[in-house]
Amino acid sequence: MSPIHYSITPSDPYAHVFDLRIHIPAPLASGQLLRLPAWIPGSYMIRDFARNIIAVQARSGDQNVALGKIDKDTWALGACTGAVDIEYQVYAWDMSVRAAHLDQTHAYFNGTSVFLQVVGQSDTPCRLDINNANIEEARHWRVATSLTSAGADAYQFGTYQAENYDELIDHPVEIGDFDCVTFEARGVPHDFVVTGKHSADLPRIAQDLTTICEHQIRQFGEPAPFERYVFMTWAVGNGYGGLEHRASTSLICNRDDLAGRNESGKVSEGYKTFLGLCSHEYFHSWNVKRIRPDIPYDLSKENHTPLLWAFEGITSYYDDLILMRTGLISRQEYLELVAKTITRLLRNPGRFKQTTAQSSFDAWTKFYKQDENAANAIVSYYTKGAVIALALDLNLRHESNNKLNLDQVMSLLWQRHGQTGVAVAEFDIQNLCLELCRNNDVPQPAQQRLQQFFEDAVYGTTDMDFSALFAPFGIAFKLRQAGSMSDAGGNDKSVDDNRVDLGVLVTADAAGSKVTRALDNSSAQCAGISAGDVLIAVDGLRVENGNLEKLLSRFQPGDQLTLHGFRRDELMTFEVTLKAPLADTVYLAIEDESKLARWL
Query: Which tens digit of pLDDT belongs to each residue from 523-534?
Result: 999 999 999 999
Domains of the chain: 1-175 (2.60.40.3650), 178-285 (1.10.390.10), 308-474 (1.10.390.10), 504-577 (2.30.42.10)
Q: Residue type for 111, please?
A: G
| Strand-pair partners of 40 | 43
Short-list 465, 477, 470, CA closest to 589: 477
pLDDT at 263: 74
State the burial class of residue 71 (Cβ atoms within 10 Å of its Cβ: 0-12, 13-18, 19+).
exposed
pLDDT at 389: 98
Walk across the sheet containing 188-195 and list its strands: 179-185, 188-195, 229-236, 248-254, 241-244
Confidence of residue 156 (pLDDT cuts 50, 70, 90): very high
State the burial class of residue 413 (Cβ atoms within 10 Å of its Cβ: 0-12, 13-18, 19+).
buried
CB neighbourhood size of 237 (10 A): 9
Short-list 398, 384, 363, CA closest to 462: 384
Report the distance separating Cα 148 and Cα 538, nearest Å. 62
Short-list 409, 401, 402, 403, CA closest to 454: 409
Per residue in 272-286, pLDDT tens? 999 999 999 999 999
What is the DSSP annotation of 117-184? Answer: EETT-TTS-EEEEE---SSGGGTT-EEEE-SEESSPPTTSSEEEEESSHHHHTTS-EEEES-EEEEEE
Q: Are strands 74-77 and 84-91 parallel, antiparallel or unpaired?
A: unpaired
pLDDT at 87: 98
Q: Which of 75-79, 91-95, 250-254 has the lowest mean pLDDT?
A: 75-79
Per residue in 414-425, pLDDT tens? 999 999 999 999
Phi, psi of 397 (to 5 degrees): -65, -45
Mention every residue, 6+ apart, whose C-beta is less than 8 A from residue 530: 372, 515, 518, 567
Instruction: Evaluate if residue 538 carries a pLDDT over 90.
Output: yes
pLDDT at 493: 86
Report the distance separating Cα 98 and Cα 440, nearest Å. 43
Q: Residue type for 163, please?
A: E
* Strand runs labelled E in 418-569: 475-480, 504-509, 512-518, 534-538, 541-542, 560-567
Report the distance separating Cα 81 and Cα 107, nearest Å. 36
Per residue in 159-198, pLDDT tens? 999 999 999 999 999 999 999 999 999 999 999 999 999 9
Q: Look at the alpha carbons of 343, 346, 350, 355 in this order and tell me if their dihedral is positive or negative.
A: positive
CB 597 within 8 A of CB 488: no
Confidence of residue 497 (pLDDT cuts 50, 70, 90): confident
Report the distance separating Cα 380 and Cα 349, nearest Å. 11
Report the distance separating Cα 173 and Cα 422, nearest Å. 29
pLDDT at 481: 94
| Strand-pair partners of 566 | 534, 571
Average pLDDT over residues 452-481: 97
Q: Are strands 229-236 and 188-195 parallel, antiparallel or unpaired?
A: parallel
| Strand-pair partners of 180 | 193
Confidence of residue 485 (pLDDT cuts 50, 70, 90): confident
pLDDT at 382: 98
Mention every residue, 6+ apart, whose C-beta is less than 8 A from residue 455: none
Per residue in 5-56, pLDDT tens? 999 999 999 999 999 999 999 999 888 999 999 999 999 999 999 999 999 9
Confidence of residue 320 (pLDDT cuts 50, 70, 90): very high
Q: What is the mean pLDDT of the chain?
A: 96
| Strand-pair partners of 149 | 160
| Strand-pair partners of 586 | 479
Q: How many residues does the chain have?
A: 600
To the nearest 10°, report the CA torsion of 451, 454, 455, 459: -170
Q: Are strands 126-130 and 4-12 parallel, antiparallel or unpaired?
A: parallel
3-state secondary structure 354-377: CCHHHHHHCCCCCHHHCCCCHHHH
Short-list 300, 242, 277, CA closest to 96: 242
**CA 74 vs CA 32, 34, 49, 50, 67: distances in Å:** 10, 6, 11, 8, 10
Global pTM reads 0.96
CB 480 within 8 A of CB 474: no
Instruction: Evaluate if residue 265 carries a pLDDT over 80.
Output: no
Average pLDDT over residues 291-298: 96
Instruction: Evaluate if residue 477 carries a pLDDT over 80.
Output: yes
DSSP state for residue 256 in the 8-state scheme: G
| Strand-pair partners of 55 | 89
Phi, psi of 14 (to 5 degrees): -70, -30
Instruction: Evaluate if residue 363 carries a pLDDT over 90.
Output: yes
Task: Give the relative orientation of helices 313-325 and 406-413 as an angle to the nearest 10 degrees.
Answer: 120
To the nearest 10°, report the CA torsion of 113, 115, 121, 123: -80
409 CA to centre of own chain: 23
pLDDT at 494: 83
- Tell me if residue 559 falls in helix, strand or coil: coil
Per residue in 102-153, pLDDT tens? 999 999 999 999 999 999 999 999 999 999 999 999 999 999 999 999 999 9
pLDDT at 261: 80
Average pLDDT over residues 278-302: 97
Instruction: Evaluate if residue 262 carries a pLDDT over 90.
Output: no
Q: Residue type for 528, please?
A: G
- Tell me if residue 53 falls in helix, strand or coil: strand
